[in-house]
Structure 1
């Protein structure tokens, strides 16, 4: 039988004698502005073989400050390769600041032996790497971890049974629950699944294979995301990715497939000081907020930074802030130098005014305020006189409501102009009167909607928007959930719309947007009740929104004229 390509251990690279970091990393380092000056020159040993838990060689690059003395160590484990951008962002920059940096390719990626599994090997392989570190003459016994996205997941894996040397963690736009990355409210997060499939499969192979796969995916995106059935449609762009088929089809978080995948329990008992970084439009922001809450309940020393970023822009224009925050945390807990720490646990960026706020906790405590959509399309503080239907619209899966901006893993992420979207017949908006004074909201946003359908099957998407004086409608936060109705009797569903810190300026208006989907961010609902990846039929659904529906805005929100 022909072996699976991941079962064949790649030929290990030969270790490179200590020397300078790769030229591309040094050149990229020179392009950054706003970063602290280097304290040391950086050296590098490449292609070291570290034994995994089963003995497979994990290829590892060791960056170090070119100076005598004891320096703490940072462990960075990645399935995305050890080249750009990881080499300059973590290897070079942190070595220049006085850290040994161990940049390692997870098993089955980047030339490391063994077969990559989306989560099952990370706890044991992380501990095996720490055991290797203990044998290195340059290891001082002070260990920290750092990294974004899946590089955050491997940190939580190590924290399940933290070694005594682990003194600090910095998790940047990171996840702890793979199921929640691929599914939300019972619906497949299709855009995330395809983006992660491309990244996990090709990024560790190098820039050229990754760019080619990304271009194939972009060129075929409409065909792939509207295929009937969805199962297997991605292979034209990404090839055979068995684990991707699994994560897309296993909708239920209680499915045995997901057992052991979520590492939330690590935060529940965490004692290692942990800094968290995310952005308001990060696809993993909700997981970061959940991590912060769990760490708080555990009494763990923690901090939270939330910027005006997407999953990737935090490492582009946001990198000076992210790097400074991360460096200060690591120096405080690994070098006994707290001078760079900010005085509060939380710092958030206020949308709408482009300023930062320092807070003692997140979310701030205080009463929420409730707004009511009305049949005339307004949004006010007074509930409608009755619970009669407010409006209805037809969702057609053959022409699904498109996604615009928001927390997605694509270049379209972030705040966008929603006016074209809102002009569609399958989108409804409810808008408040112009504000006579600014309105601030800080915390989680939600909509409680009373909905009935004519088919019994539907998704509902709700979005909070800021409408300026010229009528531009900009998304602030949003969410989606799947519902099941019986006959014409309305059901009440709560759509969690994530969290925000936003200031609506005087003269602006607050808007609630409601629709039946956001494709291809979320897989379209077929209207038939078939499993998402296997559905072949398409049945349009009429959704009826009833009176008694509400929008809940968090602490800081003030009343505004109801019109």
Structure 2
């Protein structure tokens, strides 16, 4: 292998060429997380016959310029693609690849670059959908802790400090409770000029643009990743000639971060799969349309992507909290699955009877309810938890909607919980919590109608759930699922 270190219009780029005579197809990874961390990945691609490139995005690590997250990546990627295709070792074919922010770079290159600069295929793992999609849920509710952690670690700086927020919280445990949210940089003691601007982004248009995609894509996600729903939405909307999905019981780190429902068959050799898929994509040997594989967590099975169960209403028994107070000064914790048994109720709590037999939940879930709020604005968080027969609690799903209310007037609405992919053993009970906050994962709604990121005054919100008007709907497989080989499905 032949290593090269080059600068492309100020962008530091590591190039690793395979042994043998070229020219070669190329793989481009554009990252804000230090190109030097991708050495093993580049060697893996080069061993498989690809010219492999890792590049620091503008303003990060060894690249010149100013770091502006989610800005200018399509233009810089297009410039790099043009440069790459002019090199004597390039055969002109290009795969844009990456995970998280690097996946965002790959996707916008495919969706926004002019035809001569766009890649021939895209591999996007746990893709960050863009400024608006990372900052907010589809309902508009603000993702606070994850964005605060990312901006503290990476925002408006040349390098990274992965523990920046942890260190700040150790010095001030109430750091994220201080208002306004836009004042976080002052409390961190850091200059973060892009932080207030992050919250002005509301249009989540990356998924919308996917319908115009001109190239094949391989999307890889984890059910426990905070971008799982965006990954699924990109796959559904992708308009290119071929779209493949691999969705496993993983977190943001994929196979290196298995969830509690992961099993040994869910260990997939991603590097080898990526290379084999890329070869077929560049050769035009992928089947058309949408396909792939999703894992059924809690079992050893993979099933075809797009497999969904039939609607099933789970019977719920109310425990307490049909009337409760959503108090932003004492919000329901996003970090703790324990439920308080005394004091003023801060949530509505319902459970199912123990499952008489195993249940395969595969597909979208939602809660339908009739409820009222005593304030003009209210967030409604619904958390679904599996209570095992051994007494442990496992997260299954979370959904949230933000609604305007005429105080005290009941209204009917639904809270989508996203897609489930889990085998629930016999004896499992499902616990449903309906609350007004989920902090610090999400910013607190001040309930006054003011913007949660600029508000400085918080109001308590009295809530009432009308008994007999809460329904949990799951997608349930009525017969045993047909098992598949995930690699074969991706390579079809």
Q: TM-score range by the shorter chain?
A: 0.7 to 0.9
Instruction: Report what 1:306 is aligned to.
Output: 247
Which of the residues 321, 325, 332 maps onto 2:280? 332
User: 1:66 and 1:422 mapped to 2: Cα distance?
Assistant: 65
Within the alignment, does 1:154 sit opposite 2:105 as a pair? Answer: yes
Instruction: Report what 1:398 is aligned to.
Output: 329
Unpaired stretches in structure 2, ≥5 consecutive residues: 259-265, 480-492
Within the alignment, does 1:246 sit opposite 2:197 as a pair? Answer: yes
Deviation at 1:217, TM superposition (A): 3.7
Instruction: Report what 2:489 is aligned to.
Output: none
Which of the residues 58, 69, 86 maps onto 2:11? 58
Task: Kindly report which structure 2 residues correspond to 1:277-426, keeping only aligned pairs within 5 A, or say none.
Answer: 277-295=220-238, 298=239, 300-315=241-256, 320-334=268-282, 345-353=291-299, 355-359=300-304, 361-362=305-306, 364-365=307-308, 367-371=310-314, 373-376=316-319, 391-404=322-335, 418-420=337-339, 425-426=345-346
Within the alignment, does 1:175 sit opposite 2:128 as a pair? Answer: yes
Deviation at 1:294, TM superposition (A): 0.6
User: 1:557 and 1:234 mapped to 2: Cα distance?
Assistant: 52
Instruction: Report what 2:354 is aligned to.
Output: 434
Query: Helix, strand or coil for the counterpart of 1:233?
Result: helix
Within the alignment, does 1:44 sit opposite 2:21 as a pair? Answer: no
Which portions of structure 1, spanning 4 or more consecutive aligned residues, are displaced by more than 3 angstroms?
161-165, 313-321, 334-338, 371-377, 419-425
Q: Deviations over 1:459-492 (max 9, x none)?
A: 1111222111133221111111222221321122
User: 1:134 and 1:545 mapped to 2: Cα distance?
Assistant: 61
Within the alignment, does 1:514 sit opposite 2:465 as a pair? Answer: no
Deviation at 1:144, TM superposition (A): 0.6
User: 1:535 and 1:203 mapped to 2: Cα distance?
Assistant: 27
Q: Deviations over 1:513-546 (max 9, x none)?
A: 2222110000112233322122222222221111
Aligned residues of 1:159 and 1:266 also touching (Cα < 8 A): no
Q: Deviations over 1:433-466 (max 9, x none)?
A: 1111111111111112222122333211112221
Task: Kindly report which structure 2 residues correspond to 1:129-208, keeping only aligned pairs within 5 A, or say none.
Answer: 129-160=80-111, 161-163=114-116, 166-184=119-137, 185-201=139-155, 205=159
Deviation at 1:358, TM superposition (A): 2.6
Aligned residues of 2:153 and 2:163 also touching (Cα < 8 A): no
Instruction: Report what 2:365 is aligned to.
Output: 445
**Quick one: structure 1 residues 283 and 397, their matched pair in 2 at CA, closer, same or farther if it must change by over 3 Å?**
same
Instruction: Report what 1:87 is aligned to.
Output: 39
TM-score by length of 2: 0.87
Instruction: Report what 1:476 is aligned to.
Output: 396
**Quick one: structure 1 residues 219 and 470, their matched pair in 2 at CA, closer, same or farther if it must change by over 3 Å?**
same
User: 1:316 and 1:288 mapped to 2: Cα distance?
Assistant: 17
User: 1:190 and 1:293 mapped to 2: Cα distance?
Assistant: 27
User: 2:377 and 2:20 mapped to 1: Cα distance?
Assistant: 65
TM-score by length of 1: 0.76
Deviation at 1:345, TM superposition (A): 2.4
Deviation at 1:164, TM superposition (A): 7.0
User: 2:407 and 2:206 mapped to 1: Cα distance?
Assistant: 40
User: 2:115 and 2:165 mapped to 1: Cα distance?
Assistant: 36
User: 2:314 and 2:354 mapped to 1: Cα distance?
Assistant: 15
Aligned residues of 2:148 and 2:165 also touching (Cα < 8 A): no
Deviation at 1:366, TM superposition (A): 5.2
Instruction: Report what 1:34 is aligned to.
Output: none
Deviation at 1:204, TM superposition (A): 5.3
User: 1:368 and 1:397 mapped to 2: Cα distance?
Assistant: 35
Deviation at 1:120, TM superposition (A): 3.0
Q: Deviations over 1:213-261 (max 9, x none)?
A: 244244256422100222222333361111111113x2643xxxxxxx7
User: 2:267 and 2:43 mapped to 1: Cα distance?
Assistant: 14
User: 1:509 and 1:499 mapped to 2: Cα distance?
Assistant: 19
Aligned residues of 2:384 and 2:432 also touching (Cα < 8 A): yes
Q: Deviations over 1:84-133 (max 9, x none)?
A: 2x232x32222222211111111111222222222331222111111111
Aligned residues of 2:314 and 2:352 also touching (Cα < 8 A): no
User: 2:162 and 2:107 mapped to 1: Cα distance?
Assistant: 29
Instruction: Report what 1:230 is aligned to.
Output: 181
Q: Deviations over 1:337-359 (max 9, x none)?
A: 88xx9xx9222222223x23131
